[in-house]
Amino acid sequence: MKSTLGCMLFILFMRNVFAAPSMTGEQIFKRQCASCHSQNANDTNIPILFGQEQRYIVKALNKFKADERTDHILGSMKSMAMHLSDDDINAIAKYVSTKDICSVKQNIDTKKEGFIEAFRAGRAIEKKINCQHCHGSFHRGAPRFYGQRKRFLKLTLHAFQGGRRDFPIMKRVTSQLSNEDIENLSTYINAMVLMRDCK
Residue 36 binds to ligand HEC (criterion: CB under 6 A)? yes
Determine which residue in the list 94, 102, 143, 151 makes contact with ligand HEC, applying CB under 6 A. Answer: 143
**Rounded Cα gap, residues 67 and 44, in angstroms:** 24
142: left (phi over 0), alpha (psi -120 to 50) or beta: beta
Residue 171 binds to ligand HEC (criterion: CB under 6 A)? no
Choose among 191, 172, 18: nearest CA to 118: 191
Using the Cα atoms of residue 105, residue 106, residue 107 and residue 109 in order, give the sign of their dihedral: negative
Residue 147 binds to ligand HEC (criterion: CB under 6 A)? no
- Quick one: which segment of 6-14, 103-111, 167-175, 190-198 binds ligand HEC (CB under 6 A)? 167-175
**Rounded Cα gap, residues 37 and 46, in angstroms:** 6
Give the residues lining the site for ligand HEC (CB under 6 A): 32-33, 35-37, 46-47, 49, 57, 60-61, 69, 71-74, 76-77, 80, 84, 92, 126, 129, 131, 133-135, 140-143, 145, 148, 153, 156-157, 167, 169-170, 173, 185
